[in-house]
A and B are shown apart, each in its own frame.
Chain A
């Protein structure tokens, strides 16, 4: 998959849906592999954030692919969408009580427990985001980067080459859409 990654991304950007699926699958297995490696390396009491994982993934994959690898901002656009899928799958596995051989994902705020987001709610959020992405991909991408991957407004602004104010506005717009679409009975 290493040598084909830049080719896949170019084909996906030309609108090749088969390439987009292959790209998603390749990134998914890569993120999953790296998550397991990182978790194994740090041992007891370590936590791995989505942001850290994506940074590691970029360094790792860019290092192996050389000059043909896409720039960081372009990579993150795809990887953040894949990360959303990975997070939801793990939330689902966790709630299915499947243990052993898998790491888990949880929401780690200070007073989270009663707030913990159900994987069904996350799936509905994800479906609404896919709808939104069809008409305003920028908005959906910002939700992936911010909500699912934990990037700050400043980081997203730097990646996009826009002001933080602009990122904030796009984030608010995306939230208005999502709130209207699914927010009414969602506990997020």
Chain B
């Protein structure tokens, strides 16, 4: 990936234009970019790069999965569920956590969700 990273200085120059661009639909934006290009091709180029990136990140759903939760682990240790006593968490899945558990009656350890 050889794409140059946006430096903060050029970002600050482009930022107010980006505000305008994000309020436009595609047709409006194309005409607007064309008129900027006549006056200042470098500026238009910078904006186009950012707007292309915008399309890509929308397709990727970039940063859209945001719900970070704090599940209860340590407080569960030592609790008994049915015949099992929870010892420690050994993994985490999308729907719950996997625990190392032991049977209260002394049989072998099993994973339990």
Nearest-neighbour CB distance to chain A for B3, whole angstroms, equals 6
Contacts A49-B69, A106-B69, A179-B53 hold; do A111 and B94 have CB atoms under 8 A apart? yes
Contact A105 B68 (CB under 8 A): yes
> Once the chains are docked, how many angstroms separate the CA of A39 from the CA of B75?
7
Query: Cβ of A123 < 8 Å from any Cβ of B?
Result: no
Most buried by B among A42, A45, A106: A106
> Once the chains are docked, how many angstroms separate the CA of A19 from the CA of B93?
40
Interface size class on chain B is 35 or more
Contact B68 A50 (CB under 8 A): yes
Closest to A51 in B: B67
Interface of B is mostly: mixed
Contact A104 B73 (CB under 8 A): yes
> Once the chains are docked, how many angstroms separate the CA of A45 from the CA of B79?
12
Query: Cβ of A169 < 8 Å from any Cβ of B?
Result: yes
Contacts A135-B8, A179-B56, A180-B5 hold; do A102 and B69 have CB atoms under 8 A apart? no
> Once the chains are docked, how many angstroms separate the CA of A143 from the CA of B57?
15
> Once the chains are docked, how many angstroms separate the CA of A164 from the CA of B14?
23
> Once the chains are docked, how many angstroms separate the CA of A169 from the CA of B53?
15
Contacts A135-B11, A173-B19, A183-B57 hold; do A146 and B66 have CB atoms under 8 A apart? yes
Contact A107 B22 (CB under 8 A): no
Residues of A within 8 Å of B6, CB to CB, are: 177, 180-181
Most buried by A among B1, B67, B70: B70
Query: Cβ of A184 < 8 Å from any Cβ of B?
Result: yes
Contacts A135-B12, A180-B50 hold; do A109 and B65 have CB atoms under 8 A apart? yes
Residues of chain B at the chain A interface (Cβ within 8 Å): 1, 3, 5-6, 8, 11-12, 15, 18-19, 22-23, 50, 53-54, 56-57, 60, 62-63, 65-76, 79, 81, 88-89, 92-95
Residues of chain A at the chain B interface (Cβ within 8 Å): 35, 39-40, 42-50, 53, 87, 90, 99-113, 115, 131-132, 134-136, 143, 146-150, 169, 172-173, 175-181, 183-185, 188
Query: A-B pairs with the 4 shortest C-beta distances?
Result: A48-B70, A184-B1, A179-B57, A180-B6
